[in-house]
Amino acid sequence: MSIGSGDKFSAGPQGLGYIYQPRLALFKLVEQPERTGVLIEGQDDLEFVGEGRTRSLASLKHRAPGSTLTDLSSDFWKSVRIWLDRYKSAGRSTSQLQFFMFTTATVANTSFLSAFLMDTSASTDALPEEFGAAMERSEAQLIGEIRVSYSDLSEEERRDFLGRVSIFDASPRITDIADLLSDRLLRTVRREYRQAVLERLEGWWNDIAVRQIAGDKTEPIYGAEVSDKLSSIAEEYRSDNLPITFRGKQPDGIDPDADERLFVRQLRILGTSTDRIQSAIIDYYRAFEQRSSWAREDLLVPGEMEEYEDRLVEEWRRYKDLVVETLGTDESEEKLVAAGKELFRWAEFETENLRIRERVTEPYVVRGAFHILANGRPLPRVHWHPKFLERIEGILEGTT
């Protein structure tokens, strides 16, 4: 259902509002000094925390294209009701609060609300009178409640309160923010990677936003944290690096005893423990999915993965030759298994220098690559048991 369909049961506008909140929070935060923090669903939709005790409460309104804000628009008055309550509880004129409204609508030229616009040159001297007159013209219950609350302020406090209110109309729409963030933040990132970097930054940001909204994270998110995370992500897209995005991920339904893939069978032949086989399955999964991700994002140079695998196979062959050179042609199965265990131990723990790129140091990239090679068909490119290839037909038939 389209957002502008006009169907009264459509949840589209409300859904957009929920998504708009964290996305605009990120956009506005990066406009501020890095020492500024933001709370999502703090004392308002957004709460910006500056140095000292300064706090700016922001209401967000994502409206249909062409919307206009007029004297009695409920968007404005709903925000005023919240702000008045916060103003009083924070100490009135002694508080450090500012009140912002970010709206995609445009304030009507004929509305007294234009005096609240940040870029206006209009005089604010008459604001208290115009504000009061607008309340008197309305019979809405909402504005009636505000009228009662507002009457509790002195004349000086009324001017002080209204002087703290700012409206930012024609604010960026949710569909515009990604491009604006890219222009503002990603100038130093190669153009072909900017979309991927931004998606990862927003993924990280949205996770934190959810924790804040759920109450699991009560501290503000600071601009410096965004800068640090962006720098960390961007570093992964440099020519000597690749992004690592599957750390901590696991496949569903791991069953080392029932898994019949060739690389798992190879490990069972060696008597490898269930726990180590499970780790191997996880490494295989992470490496396989990571490669797929790199390919989708077009991050690999043509032929790069093939050359990397060739290098791993060559190093494996060199160490295999070392391990088996003292074995005889009729060596006992016990010694053959011991040789296979040593070869696998080397692949797991002594190959960290075999990186696809210099700064790709994540262990699962190498370990998983060996398991991918050990899973090759019709024949694996690496194996652990010295006589595995001689016995592979029987192994695939279920015998050893």
Max CA separation in the chain (angstroms): 104
**Residue, of 295 and 397, whose pLDDT is higher:** 295
Q: Which residues contact 293 (CB under 8 A, 6 or more apart)?
A: 243, 245, 246
Amino acid letter at 13?
Answer: P
Averaged pLDDT, 257-278: 96
Q: How many helices (H) and strands (E) does the chain have?
A: 14, 8
Per-residue model confidence (pLDDT) at position 398:
56
pTM score: 0.76
Pairwise CA distance, residues 239 & 237, whole Å: 7
Pairwise CA distance, residues 98 & 87, whole Å: 9
Pairwise CA distance, residues 284 & 125, whole Å: 70
Per-residue model confidence (pLDDT) at position 11:
42
Pairwise CA distance, residues 384 & 315, whole Å: 13
Query: Each residue of 308-320: pLDDT tens digit?
Result: 999 999 999 999 9
Please state, rounded to an integer, the average pLDDT across all residues of the chain: 91
Pairwise CA distance, residues 25 & 35, whole Å: 15
- Is 321 exposed, middle or buried, given 0-12, 13-18 or 19+ CB atoms closer than 10 A? exposed
**Residue, of 187 and 275, whose pLDDT is higher:** 275
Pairwise CA distance, residues 384 & 267, whole Å: 8
User: Which band of pLDDT confidence, cut at 50, 70 and 90, is reported for residue 333?
Assistant: very high
* Four-CA torsion 300, 302, 303, 305, nearest 10 degrees: 10
Residue 106 has φ and ψ, to the nearest 5°, of -115, 135
* 257: pLDDT strictly greater than 70: yes
Q: How is residue 1 written in tokens?
A: 């259902």
* 400: pLDDT strictly greater than 60: no
